[in-house]
A = this chain, B = another copy of it.
Amino acid sequence: MEKMKLKMLYSDLKSDIDVIEKELETALNSSSHMINDASLHLLQAGGKRIRPVFVLVSAKFGQYNIDQMKNIAVPLELIHMGSLVHDDVIDDSDMRRGRRTVKAQTNNRVAMYTGDFIFARALEYVTSIENPRVHQILARTMVEIVNGEVIQIEDKFRVDQNLKDYFRRIKRKTALLIESSCELGAVAAGVDPKNVRHLKQFGYYVGMSFQIVDDILDFVSTDRQLGKPAGSDLLHGNITLPIILLKDDPTIQRFIQRAEHGFVTEEERMAMLEVVRKSDAIKEAVKISNLYLKKAMKEVEALPNNPMKKKLRDIALFIGKRKF
């Protein structure tokens, strides 16, 4: 269902997205079999390619040229892919009853270097762009994203965190790269500074809404829809928006303590999910996500007349209202 919607949304950009898809295939080609296998897997898994799409749509407010834009869109998607690969490294899913197999160890090493390879390739693409501002924005974004990854580890199972901690975390985790996609597409296409700012802000707000929705879905979707147990975020100690809104609840507090020590039973997970789902926290979180979405729409309004304004709105709505 969702895939259909996305296809329709992207329909008039299709040939340009195909160019990017082809370029991603080329970029991920290496002289190592293991990297190629890992990359092929990554390409076949697909992905929404939202970052490239935001580059293209933002660039359409200026001098649009796909041959130039692909050199922006491809590294942004590569940075996203590389960070996905690294997020999977040393994941619990590789653990067999606490023991790590030699194969899992090798896989982990290969995954780490595959991520490094993808980052290095991203860097290689960027060298073809002359504008030094593009380089600076991208480098800054990468530093902040990685910083965010470690802060996310530091904040794990920390119950004494507030909304500000959460927002700062999801900014780095998600919003920043979407913000940079919009900004870089616009900068490279020579959009005037005022509108670059609107597009950049739009990306930031959409990114925030996107991550909040993701964090909500982790509680309200079924295991099957998620492809993993619902509540996985909290099980791994990631304190997301619904939990911050619910942190004084005794069931939740106990759950976090038990999860930290790896003692959670299936019954406890179900009980936790019921508390979250029945609480006002979900409604509250949806409201906050919608506030970000509204702010994103305001930025679109401020942009000059252009058929792409509707596209930005449609994509934002699609992203902010996902329900699987």
Contacts and interface: CB of A to CB of B under 8 A. Distances in A.
Contacts of A126: 135, 139
A136 interface: yes
* Majority DSSP secondary structure for residues of A touching B: helix
Contact of A154 (B32, B98, B105, B135): B32
A34 B154 contact: yes
Given A98-B99, A110-B153, A154-B33, A127 B135 contact: yes
Interface stretch (A117-125, A175-183, A207-215): A117-125
Nearest to A105: B90
B123 A139 contact: yes
Contacts of A124: 136, 139-140, 142-143
Contact of A127 (B31, B100, B136): B136
A142 B113 CA distance: 11
Copies of this subunit? 2
A119 to B, nearest CB: 7
Nearest to A98: B99
Interface stretch (A45-53, A144-152, A272-280): A144-152
Contacts of A112: 86, 89-90, 112
16 contacts: A31-B151, A86-B113, A90-B90, A90-B105, A95-B100, A98-B100, A109-B153, A110-B150, A110-B153, A112-B112, A117-B143, A117-B146, A117-B147, A119-B119, A120-B145, A124-B136
